[in-house]
Amino acid sequence: MALAKIKKGDHVIVLTGRDKGKQGEVIEVRPSENRAIVRGVNVVRRHQKQTAKDEGGIISKSAPIHMSNLALEDPSDGKPTRVGVKTLKDGTRVRYAKRSGEEIPERT
């Protein structure tokens, strides 16, 4: 089983596009589309019809952004880093920041 490079709960930095340089937390990952939704990034305004529980009108929400435009935030210095996967002596696989070599903590 392949270990995902970017997961829900990770802190990422946008590399290109309208929101270049912005940081946020991944709230949803769509592996089949190779996209992720990041809180506060790629915010679009949409017209929404009124429903029984939601009010209608123009709402702002985060739209999916392509994974290639995201980089994980290095746990040590907060700069963009690539992600590597290494196997520990006990056989567990962990993600690590290639920039600093530091392990990326699992977020739930």
Kindly report whether the global pTM for this prediction surpasses the value 0.85.
Answer: no
The mean pLDDT of 28-45, rounded to a whole number, is 95
The predicted-structure confidence for 67-99, as pLDDT tens digits, reads as follows 999 999 998 898 999 999 999 999 899 999 999
Nearest Cα residue to 17 out of 55, 54, 59, 67: 67
The predicted-structure confidence for 44-70, as pLDDT tens digits, reads as follows 999 999 999 988 899 999 999 999 999
Domains in the chain: boundaries: 11-48+58-97
Torsion angles phi and psi, residue 54, rounded to 5: -115, 145
* pLDDT class of 3 with cuts at 50, 70, 90: low
Q: How far apart are CA 62 and CA 5, in angstroms?
A: 21
Strand (E) or helix (H) holding 81: strand 80-81
Three-class SS of residue 44? strand
Fold classification of 11-48+58-97 (topology level): SH3 type barrels. (2.30.30)
Q: How far apart are CA 19 and CA 63, in angstroms?
A: 12
Would you state the pLDDT for residue 29? 95
